[in-house]
Amino acid sequence: MESERFGEARSRRQALRGLAGAAAAVLALSGRDASARCKGEGAGCKNSHQCCSNQFCRREAGSPKSASGICTAVGPEICVNGVDDDGDGLVDCNDPACVNDPACQIGPEICSNGVDDDHDGLIDGADPDCQT
């Protein structure tokens, strides 16, 4: 009885492999390949799996994952545009590619310029670094 079940399971696996091979053969004979099923640059997408291999699905910054995006070619991270340019899920100064970019350097607070120089969320007089 046990050997019969083992034989049935093996037969099912072999049948499934045969079906997968047949499907691949049909695609090959029809001249279609997997890349023909991906969406090109500028096409709408729900996730990066729908885009061709050199692209990712870019959504508006802060939009939910359920929002639609656009298939976008992967490029270098631009560290000041508020967009994940290289498709790694990290934006601008949060991306390791921007660690040495001048826009992402954290300096001491300058207490008279109206800018949060040390990126702690506090500006000039409201920053404890300026209260001496």
Q: Which domain holds residue 29?
A: 2-34
Mean pLDDT on 6-11:
55
For residue 121, which phi and psi values (nearest 5 degrees)?
A: 85, 0
44, 87: one domain: yes
56, 82: one domain: yes
Say what the pLDDT of residue 8 is: 59
Say what the pLDDT of residue 21 is: 52
For residue 47, which phi and psi values (nearest 5 degrees)?
A: -155, 165
106, 131: one domain: yes
Q: Report the range of poorest mean pLDDT among 6-10, 21-25, 87-91.
A: 21-25
What's the first-to-final CA gap in the chain, in angstroms?
A: 86
Q: Give the pLDDT confidence of 37-75 residue by residue, as tens digits.
A: 788 888 888 887 888 888 888 777 677 777 888 888 888
57, 82: one domain: yes
Domain count, the chain: 3
105, 70: one domain: no
111, 67: one domain: no
Q: Which of 20-24, 31-35, 62-66, 76-80 has the highest mean pLDDT?
A: 76-80
108, 88: one domain: no
DSSP 38: S
Q: Give the pLDDT confidence of 103-128 residue by residue, as tens digits.
A: 888 888 899 999 888 878 899 889 99
Mean pLDDT on 63-88:
84
